[in-house]
């Protein structure tokens, strides 16, 4: 356990705008589920409103279970042995974070794990809100290759010394926070705070550590034959031997131990097949064999040889990985290749009546530019139409030194200020400091109706953003429908919306970290059978239309936060609901389509259209 103190400082304007204290946190864990996995290391830095680091504290924890992905965090059983358990330090953790804003990179993850450990220890944490530095980075719209901590740190010239070590990650996060607060202050932004409320997480026994299986999947098991190496095994219920022991025997025999049942599960092990668990319900729905613990122990003692994936893979010439997503199908090559003279530029259109502004945004997209809906750190140019000078974002653009484009030719007219490229006031102490030149990312710019094949990746996020002020006068409800190929939901649980933000399969989740953005997370590998399509839509309250909202900006990112595609929709004028995009499977490939189809009806009618039973 370590404790020390440091000093720092921020400009008075930053302290005035953001007067709260912070608890910057990082945890290393034995897995990804706070309900069943455990915290192995925690580090906390208390930061005052003026940027002063008041106290640093950290400790290793020995939860008495498998530490999980040692290749990631390096925390072996031997290293953790003799460390305190969370219950031993719960009071210290509570005192360090109490009454402060909890700050972390992917703060929802760290908060859920700390809340779960606090519940096990019967020591609830007095934290009202959290600040996610990933969400803050999205709000600032920094030109980054992805949203990983290493990329954000590199942008701010913060050196990482030991990635995935909670102590060093917290040190880096403190500096990232200070730089981000200074940048947010210059842009006049409110921090994207999320409440730490709701019921405490349910806590379960630890799940089996997922160890990659070297044997190819041979299919389901057919009794009374032997199990074959590579078969997928799932454990459920209270077994006589510890779950960890059974999983170790299965892995040693060459079986693939899974934590959830699916159509590919070969066998489910349960001490009493009459139990009612989700895993057993799934197994029964797929006709998967269920065996007792004693039967499994006999079977695992004589497992038949399987096919070694590493040997067979060596004889197959690997396909070169594509670093650039394929162009939307059915579009003229001139739309995306060459990328256009505004490629790499991010343009904000201010003022003008909606039809005129929409036409300008369309021309920007056709020239390869990304259309912004808010003034952020990555905006490079503005187009000013009638009345645009009265928009508060115009005055921010004047201060930032943006280029002004002619609304007809899109040629540069003037530069508002010199705007030193590659410099920024990064510490908030008023001293400009040179930072690395922003990386010019070039995601595919997709017009309405465009389709693209998704690169190999199972976890995607779609940012749906609209103007935070200016044109926007209505709140936007973003929803998702998990449907079959006929675009019909299986039941009402396939409708994901504000009051039910997570699909029961965990395949789709809505996150509301930012005031004018909803982040839609989609896990393709979790989608239930026969529901291989996710329809994303938006709606606004009665009495308003999307012409009152202005453009809707879509940003598609992969699991690392790298931007793959960008689209801005101006299609709707008098409509109250709008289908934004669809993620769907075609053969073995997954695709992303930008739709932009509006309807002169509200959210209820749109839900009924997709088979949801809506109460009148």
Mean pLDDT of 352-373: 86
Residues 6+ apart with CB under 8 A from 117: 38, 39, 86, 90
Under a CB-based contact definition with an 8 Å cutoff, are residues 210 and 257 in contact? yes
Percent of the chain with pLDDT over 90: 38
Residue 111 and residue 118: Cα distance in Å, rounded? 10
Top-ranked range on mean pLDDT: pick from 174-183, 204-213, 367-376 = 174-183
State residue 322's pLDDT score: 31
591 has which bridge partners? 453, 584
User: pLDDT band at residue 93, thresholds of 50, 70 and 90?
Assistant: very high
Region for 570 from its dihedrals, namely left if φ exceeds 0, alpha if ψ lies in -120 to 50, beta otherwise: alpha
Bigger pLDDT: 2 vs 354:
354
Q: What are phi and psi of 586, to 5 degrees?
A: -130, 105
What does the pLDDT look like over 98-108, one tens digit per residue? 999 999 999 99
CATH topology of domain 2-195: Nucleotidyltransferase; domain 5 (3.30.420)
pTM of the predicted model, to two decimals? 0.66
CB atoms within 10 A of CB 338: 9
User: pLDDT band at residue 336, thresholds of 50, 70 and 90?
Assistant: very low
Helix (H) or strand (E) holding 252: helix 243-252
Check pLDDT > 70 for residue 423: no
- Please report where in the chains the tokens 């490939």 appear, as a residue: 589
- Each domain of the chain, given as residue ranges in start order, spans 2-195, 232-305, 335-434, 444-609
Q: Is 210 exposed, middle or buried (0-12, 13-18, 19+ CB in 10 A)?
A: middle
In 3D, which of 20, 21, 26, 52 has the Cα closest to residue 428?
A: 52
User: pLDDT band at residue 263, thresholds of 50, 70 and 90?
Assistant: confident
Bigger pLDDT: 56 vs 379:
56
State residue 110's pLDDT score: 95
Q: Which of 107-121, 321-335, 451-465 is predicted with the least confidence, judged by mean pLDDT?
A: 321-335
Mean pLDDT of 545-572: 86
Q: What are phi and psi of 91, to 5 degrees?
A: -65, -40
Mean pLDDT of 555-559: 92
User: Where do the DSSP E strands lie in 337-429?
Assistant: 346-350, 370-372, 381-384, 403-405, 412-415, 423-424
In 3D, which of 229, 236, 235 has the Cα closest to residue 213?
A: 229
Parallel, antiparallel or unpaired: strands 517-523 and 508-511: antiparallel
Under a CB-based contact definition with an 8 Å cutoff, are residues 228 and 306 in contact? yes
CB atoms within 10 A of CB 88: 13
Check pLDDT > 50 for residue 146: yes
Check pLDDT > 60 for residue 312: no
Residue 306 and residue 63: Cα distance in Å, rounded? 35
C-alpha distances (whole Å) from 396 to each of 169, 376, 392 are 33, 10, 7
User: pLDDT band at residue 46, thresholds of 50, 70 and 90?
Assistant: very high
CATH class name, domain 444-609: mainly beta
CATH topology of domain 232-305: Rossmann fold (3.40.50)
Residue 173 and residue 64: Cα distance in Å, rounded? 29
Check pLDDT > 70 for residue 26: yes
Residue 103 and residue 19: Cα distance in Å, rounded? 15
User: pLDDT band at residue 489, thresholds of 50, 70 and 90?
Assistant: confident
- Please report where in the chains the tokens 């030991």 appear, as a residue: 162
State residue 416's pLDDT score: 52
Bigger pLDDT: 40 vs 469:
40
Mean pLDDT for the chain overall = 82
| Token representation of residue 383 | 């187009």
Residue 414 and residue 427: Cα distance in Å, rounded? 30
State residue 310's pLDDT score: 66
In 3D, which of 564, 570, 565 has the Cα closest to residue 596?
A: 570
CATH topology of domain 335-434: Rossmann fold (3.40.50)
User: Where do the DSSP E strands lie in 170-210?
Assistant: 193-195
Domains 335-434 and 444-609 share a fold: no
What does the pLDDT look like over 383-403, one tens digit per residue? 999 988 888 777 777 777 778
Coil, strand or helix: which one is 55?
strand
Residue 405 and residue 349: Cα distance in Å, rounded? 10
Q: What are phi and psi of 415, to 5 degrees?
A: -115, 130
Mean pLDDT of 341-353: 86
Under a CB-based contact definition with an 8 Å cutoff, are residues 556 and 566 in contact? yes
């Amino acid at each position: 356990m370590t404790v020390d103190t440091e000093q720092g400082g921020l400009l008075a304007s930053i302290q005035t705008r953001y007067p709260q204290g912070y608890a910057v946190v990082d945890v290393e864990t034995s897995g990804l589920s706070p309900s069943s996995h455990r915290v192995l290391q925690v580090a906390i830095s208390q930061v005052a409103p003026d940027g002063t680091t008041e106290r640093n504290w950290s400790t290793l924890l020995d939860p008495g279970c498998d530490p999980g992905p040692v290749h990631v965090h390096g925390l072996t059983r031997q290293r953790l042995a003799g460390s305190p358990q969370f219950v031993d330090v719960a009071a210290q953790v509570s005192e360090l974070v109490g009454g402060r804003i909890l700050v972390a990179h992917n703060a929802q993850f760290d908060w859920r794990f700390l809340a779960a450990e606090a519940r096990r220890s019967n020591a609830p944490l007095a934290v009202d809100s959290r600040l996610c530095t990933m969400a803050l980075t999205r709000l600032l719209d920094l030109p980054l290759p992805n949203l990983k901590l290493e990329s954000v740190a590199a942008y701010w010239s913060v050196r990482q010394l030991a990635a995935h070590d909670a102590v060093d990650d917290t040190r880096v996060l403190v500096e990232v926070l200070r730089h981000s607060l200074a940048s947010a202050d210059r842009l006049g932004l409110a921090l994207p705070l999320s409440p730490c409320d709701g019921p405490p997480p349910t806590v379960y026994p630890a799940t089996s550590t997922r160890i990659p299986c070297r044997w190819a999947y041979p299919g389901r098991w057919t009794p009374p034959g032997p199990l074959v190496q590579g078969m997928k095994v799932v454990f459920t219920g209270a077994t006589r031997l510890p779950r960890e022991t059974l999983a170790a025997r299965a892995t040693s025999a060459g079986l693939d131990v899974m934590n959830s049942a699916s159509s590919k599960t070969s066998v489910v092990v349960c001490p009493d097949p009459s139990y009612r668990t989700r895993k057993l319900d799934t197994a029964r729905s797929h006709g998967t064999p269920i065996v007792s613990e004693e039967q499994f122990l006999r079977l695992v003692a004589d497992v038949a040889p399987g096919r070694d994936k590493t040997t067979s893979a060596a004889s197959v010439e690997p396909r070169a990985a594509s670093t650039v997503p394929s162009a939307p199908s059915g579009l003229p090559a001139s739309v995306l290749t060459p990328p256009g003279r505004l490629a790499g530029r991010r343009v904000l259109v201010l003022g003008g009546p909606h039809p005129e502004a929409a036409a300008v945004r369309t021309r920007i997209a056709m020239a390869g530019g990304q259309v912004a809906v808010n003034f952020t750190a990555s905006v490079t140019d503005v187009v000013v139409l009638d009345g645009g000078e009265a928009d508060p974002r115009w005055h921010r653009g004047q201060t930032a030194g943006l280029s002004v484009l002619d609304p007809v030719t899109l040629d540069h007219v003037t530069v508002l200020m010199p705007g030193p490229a590659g410099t920024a006031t990064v510490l908030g102490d008023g001293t400009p400091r040179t930072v690395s030149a922003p990386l010019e990312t070039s995601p595919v710019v997709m017009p309405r109706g465009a389709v693209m094949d998704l690169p190999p990746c199972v976890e995607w996020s779609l940012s749906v953003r609209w103007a935070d002020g200016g044109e926007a006068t209505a709140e936007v409800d973003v929803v998702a429908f998990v449907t079959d190929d006929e675009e019909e939901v299986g039941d009402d649980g396939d409708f994901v919306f504000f009051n039910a933000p997570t699909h029961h399969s965990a395949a789709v989740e809505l996150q509301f970290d930012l005031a004018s953005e909803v982040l839609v997370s989609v896990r393709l590998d979790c989608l239930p059978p026969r529901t291989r399509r996710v329809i994303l839509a938006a709606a606004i309250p009665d009495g308003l239309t999307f012409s009152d909202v202005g453009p809707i900006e879509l940003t598609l990112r992969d699991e690392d936060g790298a931007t793959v595609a960008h689209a801005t929709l101006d299609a709707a004028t008098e409509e109250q609901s709008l289908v934004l995009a669809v993620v769907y499977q075609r053969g073995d490939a997954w695709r992303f389509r930008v739709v932009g189809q509006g309807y002169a009806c509200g959210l209820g009618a749109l839900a009924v259209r997709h088979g949801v039973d809506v109460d009148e």
